[in-house]
Amino acid sequence: MTRIFAIVGAAWFFTLFILINAKTDLSLRFIAVSVAIFALSLLFKKTRKYGLVPILALSVLLSSAGFLITTQTAVKPVQKTDDKGTFTVTATLVDLPEYGKNSIVYTFKTKSESSFA
């Protein structure tokens, strides 16, 4: 197993390719299956010795978890606002403007009101 980064990169690429192009959310299933494969591969001496299966399972696990976290924190909140189109920010000028050499800095206190739960 001399090309470890090629193996990890290929597993990462194919996992993300499948997750992005899938019609349903498969990331939780990928995480569950890769945890099971990783745990089972550590039980057998032959798979532990070569290390290919545990490394593949771990890279699939990490890429699926990264995809899930990114989807839940960055993509889903934006998709929720697409229907409603309401996102307002109310701001109050708190301090006098600070004049710099090439800029003016304003200090605001904000209150965000969004339509998602």
The CA distance from 7 to 55, in Å, is 8
Please write the tens of the pLDDT for every residue from 98-114. Answer: 898 889 988 888 876 65
20, 26, 89 from 23: Cα distances, Å:
8, 9, 34
Q: Is residue 24 part of a domain?
A: yes
| Parent domain of 62 | 4-82
How many degrees, rounded to 5, is the angle at CA 15 between CA 10 and CA 21? 125
Task: Give the chain's domain count.
Answer: 1
What average pLDDT does this structure show over 69-98? Answer: 77
> Is pLDDT at 51 greater than 60 in this prediction?
yes
Torsion of CA 89, 90, 93, 99, to 10 degrees: 20
Examine the pLDDT at 58 and tell me if it is beyond 50.
yes
Residue 117's pLDDT band (cuts 50, 70, 90): very low
Average pLDDT over residues 3-11: 90
Residue pair 41/54 in contact by the 8 Å Cβ criterion:
yes
Global confidence as pTM: 0.63
Within a domain: 107: no
